[in-house]
Amino acid sequence: MEKETYIELFPVGVSIEAGEFATPRRPVMFFKDKDEKYTLPVWLSPLDAGIVLSESNQRMPSSSPHNLTQKIFSNLGVKVASCVFTELKGHYQFVRLHFEGSDKFSSIDSRADEAISFCINAKAKFFCQHSFIERCKVLDSSMLDLPGHQAMQSRISKNLRTPYLN
């Protein structure tokens, strides 16, 4: 059996529009591969989405709550190298953060909705397998409090663009 390869993903935007994929209670961060063939929706907490949005404003100096942690890591010679999407459990996506610069601290698992803004702030690379993207296309409508999920699945499977806030 051939081992599945990993796809590098890049953050492209956040949607908080009700009626599309997200609600203000469950904003969605979208990632795409370099050829824009694959789209991975990642549901965030409102706090993490707010941090991502505030960091995307290039005209303002960075005011991320992650800056202190990054300074500590830098002084210890530790760097977040990558964020790999690993699991989908119910409504939650999970990632493994890989670190460089420490023999004692190489990786840690986290819920994606708690780690994305931290990884973006750290300029980590994002990866997942195609099968993970496929599993994330099937949504439970109760997650977004919308009447049905067929329209959402259709937009995701057709790779239609949503207005991004970035």
Pairing of strands 6-15, 107-111: unpaired
Distance between CA atoms of residues 143 and 146, nearest Å: 8
Its pTM stands at 0.76
| pLDDT winner (highest mean) among 28-32, 47-51, 143-147 | 28-32
**Sheet of strand 107-111: strand arrangement:** 39-43, 28-33, 6-15, 125-129, 79-89, 92-100, 107-111
pLDDT tens, 47-59? 888 788 777 666 6
Nearest Cα residue to 17 out of 5, 7, 30, 4: 30
Length of the chain: 166
Under a CB-based contact definition with an 8 Å cutoff, are residues 153 and 32 in contact? no
The neighbouring-strand residues paired with 7 are 128
Domain regions of the chain by residue span = 6-157
Percent of the chain residues topping a pLDDT of 70: 71
Going by pLDDT thresholds of 50, 70 and 90, the confidence category of residue 74 is confident
Question: Residue 150 contacts by C-beta under 8 Å, 6 or more apart in sequence?
Answer: none
Of residues 165 and 78, the one with the higher pLDDT is 78
Is 6-157 CATH 3.10.690.10? yes
Distance between CA atoms of residues 29 and 42, nearest Å: 5
Going by pLDDT thresholds of 50, 70 and 90, the confidence category of residue 150 is very low
Pairing of strands 125-129, 107-111: unpaired
pLDDT tens, 95-140? 999 999 988 889 999 999 999 999 998 999 999 999 999 888 765 4
Distance between CA atoms of residues 13 and 40, nearest Å: 11
Q: How many helices (H) and strands (E) does the chain have?
A: 6, 7
